[in-house]
């Protein structure tokens, strides 16, 4: 099966997308609309997340398997250690292998109470993501990704410690890393530079959230763990009562972030989609990513529910 490293090996920058598993039939329809609309743009890979505390494991497995069977896309399965024994984790990895899925993103995962809650390891489970990397590697030939944190993991005392923990995951066998999103490209670029200074050149992809609504702005703050820069917050605050204006300004802000990252030579951009496709498709076209984008049908904000 094609690996993430295969997909990142070209000379042109690429993009990838992240979905979360559907909660019900209505969510399933929304998700698969986004999958089908993004498929012609040939993302390097698509990943499917776990819910908080590993709560959506079965739906994650089912959705990833369906992408593998029914599309031309390269799926990356998330595997979170939270709440699971090592035996359960091995069973999930075995299921992925049996279904032809060889790309796995290994994360420790947040506790059920959220990122700020106390971490309590399963008595027969893992405590750190590097243990997840080793567990997966021991089970076969997988392409393993890990999470990276431009602002530092909440439990890391400082950025230097955090980058060394990332390096530890890579030395345990990780092949690539996907960064949590950052409003400011410099945080990601400094993380990349620190990693390179330690002699590590695995692909490191920045996370990007298209800013289309107040909800996506709030979600960006939640995922990054930091507030939006004052300049960005002020620009968007002018459109609090103007959804169309907010969306236009937010897409411009996101485009500038992506332009800077691409100018700095990143190998790809990882879009957090919230299971929608319109904003991602618009950004892909603006940035000149994807194959023959000029020949694809134009996208409009009315083509899907608002994100």
State the catalytic residues.
18
**73 in Cβ contact with 131 (< 8 Å):** no
Phi-psi label, residue 166: left if phi above 0, alpha if psi -120 to 50, beta otherwise: alpha
* Token pair recorded at residue 188: 């990601």
The Cα–Cα gap between 50 and 80 comes to 7
Contact 201, 188 (CB under 8 A): no
User: What's the length of the chain?
Assistant: 307
A 10 A CB-CB count for 28 gives 17
194: part of which helix (H) or strand (E)? Answer: helix 185-197
Q: How far out from the chain centre does Cα 18 lie?
A: 5
List b or e across 61-89, with b for residues whose CB sees 16 or more CB atoms inside 10 angstroms. bebbbbbbeeeebbbbbbbbbbbbeeebb
CA pair distance 27, 33, nearest whole angstrom: 10
d(CA 98, CA 203): 27
Expressed in angstroms, the distance from the first to the final Cα of the chain is 33
């Amino acid at each position: 099966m094609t690996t993430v490293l295969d997909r990142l090996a070209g000379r042109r920058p690429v993009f990838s997308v992240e979905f979360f598993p559907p909660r019900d039939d209505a969510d399933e329809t929304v998700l698969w609309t986004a999958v089908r609309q993004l498929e012609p743009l040939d993302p390097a890979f698509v990943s499917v997340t776990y819910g908080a505390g590993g709560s959506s494991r079965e739906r994650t497995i089912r959705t990833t398997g369906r992408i593998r069977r029914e599309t031309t896309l390269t799926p990356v399965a998330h595997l979170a250690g939270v709440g699971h024994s090592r035996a359960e984790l091995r069973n999930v990895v075995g299921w992925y292998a049996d279904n032809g899925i060889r790309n796995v993103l290994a994360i420790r995962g947040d506790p059920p109470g959220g990122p700020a809650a106390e971490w309590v390891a399963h008595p027969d489970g893992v405590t750190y993501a590097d243990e997840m990397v080793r567990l997966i590697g021991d089970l076969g030939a997988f392409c393993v990704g890990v999470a990276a944190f431009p602002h530092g993991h909440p439990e890391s005392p400082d950025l230097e410690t955090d980058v060394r923990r990332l390096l530890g995951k890579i030395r345990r066998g990780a092949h690539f890393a996907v960064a949590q999103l950052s409003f400011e490209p410099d945080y990601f670029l400094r993380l990349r530079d620190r990693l390179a200074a330690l002699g590590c050149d695995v692909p490191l992809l920045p996370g990007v959230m298209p800013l289309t609504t107040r909800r996506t702005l709030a979600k960006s703050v939640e995922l990054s763990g930091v507030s939006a820069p004052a300049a960005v917050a002020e620009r968007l605050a002018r459109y609090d009562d103007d959804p169309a204006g907010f969306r236009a300004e937010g897409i411009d802000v996101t485009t500038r972030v992506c332009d800077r990252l691409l100018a700095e030579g990143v190998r790809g951009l990882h879009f957090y989609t919230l299971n929608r496709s319109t904003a991602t498709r618009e950004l892909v076209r603006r940035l000149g990513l994807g194959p023959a984008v000029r020949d694809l049908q134009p996208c409009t904000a009315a083509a899907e529910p608002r994100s």
